[in-house]
Structure 1
Amino acid sequence: MPCEFFLIRYVPDVVKGEFANIGVLLREAGRDDSAVVRFTRDWSRVKCLDADADIGLLEGLESEIAARLRMGAADTKPVMQVLEDTLSNSVQMTEVRASLAESMPAELDQLMRMYVEPLKVKQERKRTGRAAIAGAMRTEFERAGVWGLMRKRIAVSLYTRAGDPMKIDCGYRADLQTAGGVVRMFQAVSLEGDVEGAKGLAYSAPQLMEGVQRVEGAALELTAVVEPLRTVSELEDEAMERYRFGVEAMERQAIRVVTVSDLARVAAMARVELRV
């Protein structure tokens, strides 16, 4: 199918004109309502260009653009014009370029590899720990088509008290046939090295659950996503004990614990509940 795409760039200094491509916006030719957007997950090039770059703000921009794309048909101005008017000088869109695609998802993957993601090198260090789990979460939710509909980096202080630094990776509200519905939140927790993340989440869970009920009038289902036990089963007994301790500490506070292997099923449920 004939398609059009725009590259989204981070330009920290408009005078110098240096930039790093951070995302792609793709649509079927002439159809604003088909547009999809994806940002990079590897911000190393941005950090090299600008050590003080606000990565959290840039990640949030992806959700903002996706939201504008979904409501584009209701706006009086074409969605592309709205985006161009909204983006600050430090984040810019290129002129439209043409492409031919077998499918939109495949083309988006290809454009990200060609223009945005850093080149892979043979000695590249494999992501491990929390970063690997968080990456797997995002991948599965993207495959299910729900990542753009979810809240990201949810500030726990909205529900507990000012100053609480914890942020939950992602979540969404499921309006089920229950009073108030359910808010589902997901946090990547690595038990491979230590259990501090598990202890911190367990400590915060009761106040977070109470706060969600108070603020949103909904029950909270908090899910921790961890490595499968087999990834640490070949390590020393102490590592196994830490793993079990972390799981038990979270489950005692009514935190649902699933492994990376369960993510496809979790994402499929999100797709049904978000009516995608």
Structure 2
Amino acid sequence: MADRVPCEFFLIRYVPDVVKGEFTNIGVVLREAAEDQGGKANAVVRFTRDWSRVRCMDADADLALLEALEGEIAERLRLGAADTKPVLTLLEDTLSNSVQMTEARASLAENMTAELEQLMRMYVEPLKVKRERRTTGRAAIAGAMRNEFERAGVWGLMRKRIAASLYTRPGDPMKIDCGYRTDATATSAGSVVRMFQAVSLEGDVEAAKGFAYSAPQLREGVERLESARLELTAVVEPVKRGNSEEDEALERYRFGVEAMEREAIRVVTLSDLARVAETARLELRV
């Protein structure tokens, strides 16, 4: 059996009321105890994807800010993984004392990925009941998309919840799930911004229509502000082929796909995510 790696971990806690001292764990920072020759220690962070306990404690919690905080911490760790002070400073500057980090605790890991998942199960994720309702629709697609990008090691390098209003016009409420920019030398077409959106076609197709409607303005805005070409990708569930009673649902599905493809939006299904994530890994040189 391979030797285990000495590590230490920190829990990230959400504390809505500092006076009461009540909290819920929302994430884990894990790093190797030993530094490499460059003076850095391998470190990773992961936040929960189930914010139900946070909502129960604080109905007004800014979940978008908490989700974005994960990426900010990952960037601080990448720049200075051997020192947690930059992370503590970030937490203090972002939400005062509402987000806190515990003291370090020791652990022995077979590998960083497995250990991080184990710590998330032990300290962060709520207990799952046997008959838990299956996540469906857009939430399921977004979760699968994140899983694949995490497996490829690129999730921490990607932008999340990208405001369309940055490129279209003020007031545009659309948020693009995630994206990244390629280096000018990574593709023959120069710099490319790739954005990915989970779009469920199981119910109505309004999300597909809205995404298609915004595509031309998004492209023009990215070209104008970032001097790059924009490639939009919609991730959808596979089409369901069944009896004649499902013909109407199939027609809606086809309508949604065609509406997006007419605006040059690439449409892929969940089965294509591994290939999409691998492309991101190569382009981001992970």
How would you bin the TM-score normalised by the shorter chain?
over 0.9
Q: What is the CA–CA distance in structure 2 between the aligned matches of 1:271 and 1:71, rounded to whole Å?
A: 19
Q: Quick check: 1:179–1:218 contact (8 Å CA) kept in 2? A: no
2:24 matched to which residue of 1? 20
1:81 matched to which residue of 2? 85
Q: What is the CA–CA distance in structure 2 between the aligned matches of 1:112 and 1:233, rounded to whole Å?
A: 39
Asked if residue 270 in structure 1 is aligned to residue 280 in structure 2, the reply is yes
Task: For residue 79 of structure 1, report the CA deviation from its aligned partner.
Answer: 2.8
1:113 matched to which residue of 2? 121
Task: Provide Cα deviations, 1:40-97, integer angstroms capped at 9, x if missing partner.
Answer: 0000010011110000000010000001111116xxxx63012123313110000100
Amino acid at match of 2:163: A
Q: Quick check: 1:180–1:217 contact (8 Å CA) kept in 2? A: no
1:98 matched to which residue of 2? 106
Match among 125, 131, 142 for residue 134 of structure 1: 142
Mapping 1:1-276, distance limit 5 Å = 1-31=5-35, 32-72=40-80, 79-88=83-92, 89-175=97-183, 176-178=186-188, 180-230=190-240, 233=242, 236-276=246-286
Q: Quick check: 1:33–1:69 contact (8 Å CA) kept in 2? A: no
Amino acid at match of 2:149: F
Structure 1 gap ranges (5+): none
- State the secondary structure of the residue aligned to 2:115: helix
Q: What is the CA–CA distance in structure 2 between the aligned matches of 1:63 and 1:13, rounded to whole Å?
A: 24
Task: For residue 179 of structure 1, report the CA deviation from its aligned partner.
Answer: 5.5
Task: For residue 180 of structure 1, report the CA deviation from its aligned partner.
Answer: 4.4
- State the secondary structure of the residue aligned to 1:79: coil
Q: Quick check: 2:6–2:34 contact (8 Å CA) kept in 1? A: no
Could you list the runs of 4 or more consecutive aligned residues of structure 1 that deviate by over 3 angstroms after TM superposition? 177-180, 232-235
Aligned sequence identity (%): 78
- State the secondary structure of the residue aligned to 1:118: coil
Q: CA RMSD in A?
A: 1.3
